């Protein structure tokens, strides 16, 4: 089984925060920074203000799954950090996915159907 491409080190998070670009949404803030690895990695930051550990972990699982399913439609070579806002604890999967895809479009990392061929 391949390892999930996630950002684990604090130095990687700090690099994305300081050198990357960000766009906000009602549910989350997405930071993007180019890495030189040839594949995308995701980092998820969920504050204790969002809820208890069960709620936070549930949101993390949803965001990881959104990343996994939508990664084939994205340009490669980016570190993506999503900072989840407290409003997101009441959001369902579809709302989180819409917010994630909308922010990815604003960052211009979505590959459109015309660009694939």
For residues 71 and 85, give the distance between their C-alpha atoms in angstroms, rounded to a whole number.
Answer: 22
For residue 79, which of 24, 22, 3 has the smallest C-alpha distance?
22
Q: Answer yes or no: is pLDDT of 1 > 80.
A: no
Which tops the pLDDT comparison, 37 or 116? 37
Average pLDDT over residues 75-100: 92
Average pLDDT over residues 71-79: 88
- Contacts of residue 42, Cβ cutoff 8 Å, sequence gap at least 6: 5, 6, 7, 63, 64, 67, 79, 80, 81, 82
Structural domain spans, the chain: 26-104
| pLDDT digits 0-9 by tens, 2-46 | 678 889 899 999 999 999 999 999 999 999 999 888 889 999 999
Average pLDDT over residues 101-114: 83
Q: Which two tokens stand for residue 30?
A: 């997405």
Instruction: List Cα–Cα distances, 93 to 54, 66, 88, in angstroms.
Output: 16, 8, 10
Q: Answer yes or no: is pLDDT of 117 > 70.
A: no
pLDDT at 85: 93
Quote the pTM value: 0.86
Residues forming a β-bridge with 83: 29, 45
The CATH class that applies to domain 26-104 reads alpha beta
For residues 105 and 110, give the distance between their C-alpha atoms in angstroms, rounded to a whole number.
Answer: 6
């Amino acid at each position: 089984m391949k390892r999930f491409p996630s950002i684990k080190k604090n130095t990687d998070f700090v690099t994305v925060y300081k050198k990357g670009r960000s766009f906000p949404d009602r549910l989350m803030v997405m930071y993007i920074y180019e890495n030189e690895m040839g594949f995308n990695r995701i980092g998820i930051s969920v504050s204790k203000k969002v809820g208890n550990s069960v709620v936070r972990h549930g949101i993390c699982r949803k965001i990881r799954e959104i990343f996994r399913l939508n990664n084939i439609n994205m340009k490669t070579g980016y570190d993506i950090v999503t900072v989840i806002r407290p409003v997101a604890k009441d959001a369902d999967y579809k709302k989180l996915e819409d917010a994630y895809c909308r922010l990815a479009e604003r960052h211009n990392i979505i590959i459109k159907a015309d660009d694939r061929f």
